[in-house]
Structure 1
Amino acid sequence: MGSLQNGLFGGFNGRVGNLVGYILNGKNVIRTIGHSGKPLSPARKINCDRMKIVNDFLHPVTPFIKLGFKLKVLGTDRNYYNEAVSYNKKHAITGVYPNAEMDYSKAMLSMGTLLKAENPQIQLIGTAIEFTWDVPDDLPWENRKDRAMLQICFPGNTQQTHCLSASHREDGKHTLQIDPSLVNARIEAYISFIKADGSAISDSVHAGSIAKKEKVAEPEIEKQDLIEKETTSAHKTLKALKKPAVNIQLTLATNTRIAAQHSHFLWQNSSNLKLNYTLFPT
């Protein structure tokens, strides 16, 4: 149920039929709700596809763009998220429907008038990403204490890592830890600078990409060849010990379970990598 504000001719809050009223940035807004039963036109399909691409990119980085577009929409009835969507849908998508995709090098996560990062780069060091940027000799004094804002995205993954108050501009670098499980994932990184008091911010700059690392499959070992090599070694060991039965631990470069009958020994494994055999002469 909706409630009137400021009398009969004022705005209202809540729902009345298929209308919803609310206040956005000090203004009364009324919109309709519900789903259209009409089939999507080609133009709407393209628009919906582009909206999904941009939203999939922006939703995980909401904390960053909330600060990054805050000053851009200050004093207007727009909000930071819609501003980010509007820019990136127009400028950061490449290709055509249904093969459109995000162009991460053109994405923008902040907009402002402060000096941008110069020549930013990234590199993976263990489980951390090191950001570096140039510090010009003629860097104005008032910009030396600007704080770096760093954002790391993992396309295809909703996880993200960010730091909204990193090293000073004059430091030229900052290291940001990431989830160890994501060190082999594709990485897209961004950097902005912001005044210590938040009064000004720079446009974001794409700091670089790191390609996804595919795991290399280990070569398979022929099972029969492995059996022959291990049983021959075990036979020699048992003859040297001259005992009727002995436990021998063997280490194999495979995780394949093996159980076999040899002409001289009966032997079985009890694990994958470290194999404990009990051998009995026949």
Structure 2
Amino acid sequence: MGKINQGILGGFSGKVGNVIGGNWKGIDYMRVKPASVANPQTEGQVDQRTKFSTVLKFLQPMTDFVRVGYKLYATKMTQFNSAMSYNLKNAITGTYPDYTIDYANALVSRGNLTGVLNPAATSSSPGEVSFTWDNNTGNGNALATDKALLVVHNASKGVAAYETAGAGRSNTSDSITVPADFSGDTVEVFIGFISEDGKEVSNSAYVGSVTVA
């Protein structure tokens, strides 16, 4: 309950309805208490949060990889936030609430280094995914010493295996070890390159889906 201090024309302290009165440095004041929002989860907010959760589920298992893959885009934000921003805008498909990652448009690394040429991936041995590509050394700024960036993402298990300094571009092949329980699972495979000095990174390329042996 509010209390009138100096008669009916004076200031008051306390609360009357949604009006709060008080005195600050000898000055009487009144302010309106903000109305509470019964349901802050508007349709748009829920939709955006669902998209955000979809991308987070995709990127979180490869957090350390993303820190390398997006190192050139960490201006006024972290590498991970930069990757979240890009993939929220470009790699979501479906309609609410059934959003999924459009892997062909997703980037797990991003930069201006010349990318991979004719990548392919297979799994013929348990616990291993093998990559091949053509040697495009000399195209653009591609160097023979550029190192492969490899990602194997298991969406069903929420786990990713990755390599941030794989074989050289001129080697044209590499492999990555995956957990034994990946056997029989379908995984999504990406490849990119990083310069030997770590200063340049290429956009990743989505190689496709592979069933682990």
Common fold by TM > 0.5: yes
| CA-based RMSD | 2.0
Q: Deviations over 1:3-60 (max 9, x none)?
A: xxxxxxxxxxxxxxxxxxxxxxxxxxxxxxxxx8624111111101000000000100
**Any stretches of 5+ residues in structure 2 without a counterpart?**
1-36
Over 3 Å counting, the alpha-carbon distance change for 1:37 and 1:78 in structure 2 is farther
For residues 192-203 of structure 1, the aligned pairs below 5 Å read 192-203=192-203
**Aligned pairs (5 A) from 1:109-258:** 109-127=108-126, 128-136=128-136, 139=139, 143-211=143-211
Displaced runs of 4+ in structure 1, greater than 6 A?
A: none
| Deviation, structure 1 residue 211 | 4.9
* CA distance in structure 1 between the partners assigned to 2:141 and 2:98 by the alignment: 47
Q: Which has the larger radius of gyration?
A: 1
Flag structure 1 segments of 5+ consecutive residues without an equivalent.
1-35, 214-282
Say whether the 8 Å CA contact 1:68–1:109 is kept in structure 2.
yes
Structure 1 stretch 49-58 or stretch 199-208: which is displaced more? 199-208
1:79-98 alignment runs, 5 A limit: 79-98=78-97
Report the 3-state secondary structure (helix = DSSP H, G, I; strand = E; otherwise coil) of the residue aligned with 1:71.
helix
1:68 matched to which residue of 2?
A: 69
TM-score in terms of structure 1 length? 0.59
SS in 1 for 2:73: coil
Asked if the contact 1:120/1:208 (under 8 Å) is kept, the reply is no
When the two structures are aligned, how many residues end up with a matched partner? 176
TM-score (norm. length: structure 2): 0.77
Taking only the aligned residue pairs, the percentage that are identical comes to 28
Distance 1:93 1:46 in 2: 12
Q: 1:212 offset after TM fit, Å?
A: 8.0
Native 8 Å contact 1:93 1:101 kept in 2 = yes
Amino acid at match of 1:152: V
Matches of 1:158 and 1:142 in 2, distance apart? 33
Higher relative contact order (CA 8 A, sep 6+): 2
